[in-house]
Amino acid sequence: MKVAVFFDRDGTLNEEKGDYITRYEDIKIYPFAFEAVRIVNSLGFLAIVTTNQAGVAKGLLKEEDVEEIHRKMKEEFEKNNAKISAFYYCPAHPDHSKEGLDCRKPLIGMALKAKEEFGIDLEKSFVIGDKVEDILFAKNFGGKGILVLTGYGRKSKEEIERIGIKPDFVAENVLTAVEWIKERWEEGR
C-alpha cells in the first residue's frame, strides 16, 4: 500500500485570499510549495490535494470552475517538476448534513476515495493544512496531522490549543512540514 501526503489547498499550497477563489488568476502558489511537493515525490509518496469548496454550494462558482483551477494548478506544479497525483474537493455547504455528503473535512470521504483509487495506507499517511478541520481529518482516518502557520494557521493554532486538539507537528509552512515528514520517515527506516 502507498503512503500519501494530503495537502489542503488555500492557505497551505497557495495564499489564503480571505474569500472564495473563483478563477485560477486569483491563485498565488507559495514559491516553497513546489519544493515541498518535490520532496514528497522523492520519498515515493503520493501528493494529493483535498479541499473544501463550499463556494460551489453557495453558487459563487461551478464545479467546472474548481476543476479548471485544479487542472491549471497541476500544470503549474508539473512545470516546476512537482507531481500532484490528484485533486479532491467537496462542493458541500458547511451544513453538509442537508446535502447527504460525507466529503467535507473533517469527514473522511475524500480520503476514502483516494484510498480506493490509489491503494493508500491511511494510517501511514499525513495531512498538512492550516485549519482545525485538517487536523481532525487526519485524526479521523488515523493519519498524522500537521498544522501550518500560513493562511488561517495562527488563528487555528489558538483554537486547537483552546479545545485541546494536538497536531502531530506545527510547522511554519508547507515546506517545513514536509521536511519534518522526511526526517521522521528516514529515522523510521
| Residues designated as active site | 8, 10
Alpha-carbon span 183 to 95, nearest angstrom: 38
Q: Report angle CA 6, 42, 122 to the nearest 5 degrees.
A: 30
The three cell numbers of residue 183 are 526526517
Alpha-carbon span 145 to 155, nearest angstrom: 16
Alpha-carbon span 126 to 34, nearest angstrom: 18
User: Measuring CA to CA, which residue among 23, 110, 26 is closest to residue 69?
Assistant: 23
Q: With the C-alpha atoms ordered 77, 133, 25, 28, is the resulting torsion angle positive or negative? A: negative
